[in-house]
Amino acid sequence: MTEAEPALRIGRVLKAHGVKGALRIELLTDFPDRFAPGNEVEVAGRRLTVVRAEGQDGGLLVTFNGIDDRGAAELLTGEYCTLPLSEARRLPADRFYHFQLVGLKVLEARDGREIGRVAEVLTYEANDVLRVTSGDREILIPMIRSVVRSITPDQGVITVDRPEEAEG
């Protein structure tokens, strides 16, 4: 059995919209043009071509070629829209994809003590949050400049400076 190439999640199908197969998509990318007409994305193991996309309620309303009715659209509810990692766009030097952060060791800046490893990056309106685990402990660390001091994926490390009252 061959292992599938890791995928870059760029959207999630929230629900079907109308009776002609349109889908309401939650954007998980900073590049909404990924859904421009003519582009292809993978949804539920199928490579689909975007026919139409328009912004709506903070997300997108997307129509794909071959998804022509509500029934076909409803089958995709909850699925992720993905691209191969090889199609990931280069980000500015101080920006990272979430998948680049997962698994990195998190160190306390003051004493170099290991806090744990990034298990997940949670997305919130105000800022992203690192969910760091160490054994059965879980620590949430806001990804703000006053706390996250450096991110060096090539060294496998994120250095943070948490307020002392947050330590424990």
3-7, 96-100, 141-145, 151-155: lowest mean pLDDT where?
Answer: 3-7
Ranges of each domain in the chain: 7-87, 98-166
Residue 4 pLDDT > 70: no
Residue 93: C-alpha distances to residues 4, 85, 96, 150 (Å) = 28, 18, 8, 12
At 128 the pLDDT is 92
**CB-CB neighbours of 108 under 10 Å:** 15
DSSP, res 84: E
Please tell me the class of the 98-166 domain.
Answer: mainly beta
Give the three-state DSSP class for 86: helix
> Strand 105-108 relative to strand 157-160: parallel, antiparallel, unpaired?
parallel
From the CA atom positions of the chain, what is the Rg in Å?
19
pTM over 0.85: no
Please answer whether residues 41 and 48 qualify as being in contact, where contact means their C-beta atoms are separated by less than 8 angstroms: yes
71-101: per-residue pLDDT in tens?
999 999 999 999 998 888 888 888 888 888 9
Q: What is the Cα 6 distance to its own chain's centre?
A: 13
64-73: per-residue pLDDT in tens?
999 999 999 9
Residue 45 pLDDT > 60: yes
At 56 the pLDDT is 83
Q: Which two tokens stand for residue 2?
A: 């061959």
At 3 the pLDDT is 45
In the chain, % helix, strand, coil (3-state, to 5) comes to 10, 45, 45
Name the pLDDT band for 36 (thresholds 50, 70, 90): very high
The percent of residues above 90 in pLDDT, for the chain, comes to 71
DSSP, res 72: H
Give the three-state DSSP class for 71: helix
Q: Is 124 left (phi over 0), alpha (psi -120 to 50) or beta?
A: beta
Residue indicated by tokens 């994120």? 158
The percent of residues above 70 in pLDDT, for the chain, comes to 94
If one looks up domain 7-87 in CATH, what number appears? 2.40.30.60
Residue 157 pLDDT > 50: yes
Residue 2 pLDDT > 60: no
